[in-house]
Amino acid sequence: MYKVMIVDDEPSIRTGLPKIIDWEAYDFSITAVARNGDDARRKLEKDYPDLIITDIKMPILDGFGLIHHIRKDLNDSKMPFIILSGYDEFAFAKRALQYNVKSYLIKPVDEEELITLLVEVRKELAQEDVFANFYHQRVEAFNHNYAEIEEFQALSEAIENNRTDEIKRLIERIFHRFETEKLHPSIVQVHLGNFFIKICTQIKEMGGLVETLNRKESLMTVHLSNLNVNRLKNIFTEISLDCADYIEELKKSCRVINRVKQYVEKYYYKNIKLKDIAELLYMNQAYLGQLFKKETGMLFCQYVNNKRLQNAKRLLLRTDLPIYQVAERVGYRNVDYFIQKFKEGENCTPLEYKNNHMKA
């Protein structure tokens, strides 16, 4: 049974149209009724129909606005529409054709004409069901062997290590497999999207931003009318190479930040400054500061302060040094400033920290 949504601002249409014919006799069921296009748009989110019968002239959002929303915003080029209108004007019919709407009825609705249209729509929907079932079977058969396609794992490793020639060679082999399986481009698109979910996860784990990959979304937003395997392969190759370059940059960033961390670990008790480290690494101080914040989530001075406080807590619990000497040992020349920073981090003074933990 195919689901139908009726959209009309006239109450007589909303209540009368469901009664004009025996919908179930033609394999249809009225599952939603909306007052206008905006009302229909909200109801689409809860229950998506197989056919929409809509008026043109409606308040808030008219019929063409609803069709535009489904065609463009929802990227649904196949939803069948039957347009109702009390205006027998060629301009309306011409505009309807631009939206790929083939069915156009003039109010009051003729019962026989409506039945004829429903029969035609049912045939089209039935053909699409056969098509969908066929590819569903193909996808299930492909998924059964999906894990066995070593090229995907190999491609992931090639991207991670930025091996350009190997990336291109593996993509050729993967798409040869797609061609052998005779998969529809839309199914290929889904599998490629799933692969890049893994790559994007890896990039995020490395502290990268997926948004910097400008072409990322283009893989999944290729319009159905322009969808073909060759175009997908070109986009897929471009994104793979972009990801490989980006991961290489992230690795370099990680190596630089690790060197900064090692320096802090070794010299935290001294008067270390980001400027001095930047000079040692032959880097711009501002850029290094931004890179450090991006990789660690904190400013360089905050990181140094945290390292000093960690070591201060260790000294407090393992030695009998007075507070001022603990402060000096971890790099604070002013004991009052040390106590202030300690309270900010631990919500207690160094002495209170020591006493509380010694009792425990």
The tokens for 119 are 């029969």
Query: How many residues would you count in the chain?
Result: 360
**Class level of CATH domain 268-359:** mainly alpha
> Domain segments of the chain: what residues?
2-129, 145-250, 268-359
Asked whether the predicted pLDDT for residue 120 surpasses 60, the reply is yes
Q: Find out whether 215 and 246 touch, Cβ atoms under 8 Å.
A: no
Superfamily of domain 2-129: Response regulator (3.40.50.2300)
Give the Cα separation of 27 and 321 in Å (integer): 87
Confidence of residue 216 (pLDDT cuts 50, 70, 90): very low
Determine the pLDDT at residue 218.
60
Beta bridge partners of 294: none
Determine the pLDDT at residue 337.
93
Q: What is the residue type of 136? A: H
pLDDT tens for 60-95 read 998 888 988 888 877 777 888 988 877 655 566 556
Residue 108: asked if its preceding bond is cis (omega within 30°), the reply is: yes
Tell me the longest C-alpha to C-alpha distance in the chain: 98
Give the Cα separation of 266 and 288 in Å (integer): 19
pLDDT tens for 225-263 read 456 788 888 888 988 998 998 888 877 777 788 888 888
Q: Find out whether 125 and 29 touch, Cβ atoms under 8 Å.
A: no
> Which of residues 95 and 341 earns the better pLDDT score?
341
Determine the pLDDT at residue 234.
87
